[in-house]
Amino acid sequence: MTGHERPCPAIREWLPDDRPREKLLLRGPQALTEAELLALLLRSGTAGRTALDVSRNMLRDAGSLRGLAARSAREMMRIHGVGPAKAAELAAAFEVGRRIEAGGGSRRPVVSGPSDVARIMVPALRDQKQEVFHVLVLDSSNAVSANVELSRGTLNASLVHPREVFKVAIDHRAAAIVVVHNHPSGNPEPSPEDLSITRQLAEAGKLLGIPLHDHVIVAESAWTSLAERGVL
């Protein structure tokens, strides 16, 4: 810094209309930029940098707010100015948003078709960097009574076995189940392993009297229903 340069003023020295908190209270959260919303969550910056400076740097590093939301707390901590506390608060805020989006307006969402499954599971799975397999437990009204993550890793028979899937179903007294997993590649087309596991689960469900209603594959914001494909 030269003798003619002045340090950037702290947020508390800004005009009230320019401060994120006051701006939100005066004009509503929709009036704030993504960087300003992040700055409110961060609350403080680092030496010589405001929370807004840090939040702008985070967005540049991640490429977008969506890209930042996809990162784990440990990944966010690699950004200068973001320590464990800030990273944990941001990760929690993003997860709250995902759960609100997935839950919709219903305490126990009802599954009447694959679009309902997608509404519940796309927010949870679209940013995952490895394959994650979930079992949705349905009651007699097709309401979701439990949503259980069963495995993480490449989907195959050793990771997803019918006995593990139906143990979840039996433990939760399921009337039926839907299984869901994601393709981090972004391609929603089922693999041969997906088709094989789906058929195994369908047969096991018939024997146990707990039908498999669908197997939905999530790929970013797209999805494929194997029930609609005629696999079930």
Q: Is the pLDDT of residue 67 over 80?
A: yes
Which pLDDT score is estimated for 162?
92
Lowest mean pLDDT among 2-6, 23-27, 150-154: 2-6
CB 127 within 8 A of CB 227: no
DSSP letter, residue 14 = S
Q: Is the pLDDT of residue 64 over 90?
A: no
Beta strand extents in the chain (DSSP E only): 132-138, 144-152, 176-182, 212-219, 222-225
Q: Report yes or no: 35 and 42 within 8 Å, Cβ to Cβ.
A: no
Span 68-89, average pLDDT: 88
Is the whole-model pTM more than 0.85? no
- Using DSSP's 3-state secondary structure scheme, residue 15 falls into coil
Sketch out the chain's domains with CATH numbers. 11-102 (1.10.150), 105-225 (3.40.140.10)
